[in-house]
Chain A
């Protein structure tokens, strides 16, 4: 592990610990409205000021980090696993299965998923707690986000299957399972990791956009996505630059995660 990676690990650890210790670090609840201090600038009472309903931005950022930092990677992991299973098996086995999976990917990418999401929200019970609602949102994102990574993983697998060392291993009589676990999977790791880390910020932003459809994190629960929606008001952002904190934190966390998981292994192509 390089010095930069160690630094990244420490910073990520601090961010994660801070989010888990939100109850101790912030003096206010994420939902409490201080109606006498709406849109207040940063102060000792409110280190990042308050939002338009008088809620402590610092408290909301910490609790929002907890939700986004745990659930977005979980959804990314789910989508990458599905993609790896389908794309990897299609590339490895080839033939009819590959054609079926490829057609499935094309079909999946062409479907209007927005309507499915709307239908799902309409079917959910109305008295769903905010936390259940956010879990369902990220579960849906995980289940729907596999198609693009699957296509890339299939192509990567297909290239690997025809690589000289795998042809040689196959000719030497290595069993298919061993071939897969010991020779193919380790070489697919860079692609899988890349797909995983690309998905994390995408899911965080998707959650913010889903809020417009009534999915996503519901009031009063905070999330990075919900806080990023405030940036639509660019005049307010120019006047209150501390509103950019969630965006900066998102960029920092994603960059550090990529740095931490950088590998010397070349990505096969």
Chain B
């Protein structure tokens, strides 16, 4: 209600002229960045700043999903994924004029792997105990040898912004298209163009085209939308379907549905041996037939149509359709068919008794599903799932909890029955999902930290995931991971529901926009974006 009043008050406020510099792009961050050190980034606002300011050796092109050389013109991975050699571009400078050399690469890799720094970016490179070896191998070449094989080693460097070994400005000296010029906590971060940025366009003009980017710190989505409508912002990232539809009615040319994202909504049951559950419920949750029946009883098309207003796709498995290479295209989403579902449950000893479904021992099938409170999309999904399951005689008790309580239940006390949650994927490579699929992993959510795989299919997944991570042959790796996806589809330890679309809004003022499926969908090519020239005064 307060939000509504604020929005109405703002809408009713007299028009104020907002002047901004020519060539300035504006959008919002949800919160203050926690760090400007690119090696310590672990949340989205800091990641946005790293993406816009950091120069990397290798960049994953968000549009083509191919790796491209940036500061490194060439690279070669060898020794079974332990070693990488870079050939560097010459005559480049950091934003403060310090020359870029191979020593900067070696310095960055050492910092990345320094145990004292605890770099979250470095975690992906720590596949085995030991120290990294890194050095210059020539005037414009460098190498790094890691203690163990690193899966998709070259792709991991997309997250590593090179630091200067010699600049007095430390991490403030950057090689990316923009440099942090000003920061007012709680208000904005101002980025200005890097005068020494090395890239040029086809006509030889130095990039970036933009003079500056103003990142307003704004948590309230309604206000963000209102400011976009007033022309004060150029981009709105991660629109929810309701906002998207509202905006598309008034400004149909400003909304962008880039298609399914890497994110997914899923349900899983508690299969932890020590969980405080009655034995008969543990038996249900450990039954493949039961899990598959629940999966088939959920009408995914309705979730897409009603909850996501058509801006999502029924999920096939742990890989989104957005991930072109790694998706097992042979798999299809489960077909909604209540009669077939009931037959599957009957094969597992369940039967109808009046309006209820009961198991072979006469226990009425009733369980709870928890989710995070305050998430409207989840609340609506839960209501739809509740009615879908009621058609089979299953009573679903919906419980929404604050996020810390939810995490406490699914990660520590294991005092839950089933959960609906979102999984945000940032990487394309299967190695980014190792912590989910290995039975020994802490994020193997339905039954984590197993000393030895408790089921044959989990043992098989362990084997396949380890085989794919050890291989350097992309096609072989895909074969292994296709098999993992097939096992997951057959065993349904996680019931994948939908992949929401990547929805954004972009001002008509912004040029050269090529929306991509991967984050950051709109400004992935920030150096080539431009806005209208001249002083813009808006009411």
Contact = CB atoms under 8 A, between A and B. Distances in A.
Interface of A: 31-33, 35, 38, 52-54, 118, 121-122, 126-130, 205, 211-214, 218-220, 228, 231-236
Contact of B306 (A52, A130, A228): A52
Contacts of A122: 401-402, 405, 408
A21 to B, nearest CB: 24
A32 B383 CA distance: 10
Contact of A53 (B3, B242, B383, B397): B383
Majority-rule SS of A interface residues: loop
A122 B242 CA distance: 30
Given A213-B402, A214-B400, A127 B366 contact: yes
B274 interface: no
Nearest to B380: A53
Nearest to A123: B405
B306 A218 contact: no
A213 B373 contact: yes
Interface in B325-380: 366-368, 370, 373-374, 379-380
Given A118-B402, A127-B368, A235 B246 contact: yes
A206 to B, nearest CB: 12
Interface residues of B, number: 34
Contact of B382 (A130, A219, A231): A219
B265 interface: no
Contacts of B242: 233
B157 interface: no
> Which of A121, A122, A214 has the most C-beta atoms of chain B within 10 angstroms of its own C-beta?
A214
B383 A234 contact: no
Given A232-B1, A234-B8, A218 B398 contact: yes
A10 B384 CA distance: 39
Nearest to A210: B373
A126 B416 contact: yes
Contacts of A214: 373, 399-402, 405
Interface string B1-42: 101100110000000000000000000000000000000000
Nearest to B369: A126
B167 interface: no
B356 to A, nearest CB: 14
B302 interface: yes
Contacts of B302: 35
Given A127-B366, A212-B373, A219-B398, A35 B306 contact: yes
A33 B387 contact: yes
> Which of B4, B386, B399 has the most C-beta atoms of chain A within 10 angstroms of its own C-beta?
B399
Contacts of B234: none
B4 A118 contact: no
B417 interface: yes
Contact of B405 (A121, A128, A205, A235): A121
23 contacts: A32-B387, A33-B384, A35-B302, A52-B306, A53-B383, A122-B401, A122-B402, A122-B408, A127-B366, A128-B399, A130-B397, A205-B1, A211-B373, A212-B373, A214-B400, A218-B399, A219-B379, A219-B382, A219-B383, A220-B386, A228-B1, A232-B1, A232-B3
A31 B387 contact: yes
A25 B341 CA distance: 35
Interface string B295-321: 000000010011000000000000000
B397 A127 contact: yes
Contacts of B379: 219
A129 B402 contact: no
Given A31-B387, A53-B384, A219-B382, A126 B399 contact: yes
Contact of B397 (A31, A33, A128): A128
B383 A220 contact: yes
A6 to B, nearest CB: 34
A53 B306 contact: yes
State the 9 A-B residue pairs at the shortest beta-carbon distance, nearest first: A214-B373, A126-B368, A214-B400, A122-B405, A219-B398, A214-B401, A212-B374, A234-B4, A219-B383
A52 B380 contact: yes
A18 B212 CA distance: 62
A33 B405 contact: no
A129 B383 CA distance: 15
Contacts of A128: 397, 399
Given A126-B368, A126-B397, A127-B397, A231 B402 contact: no
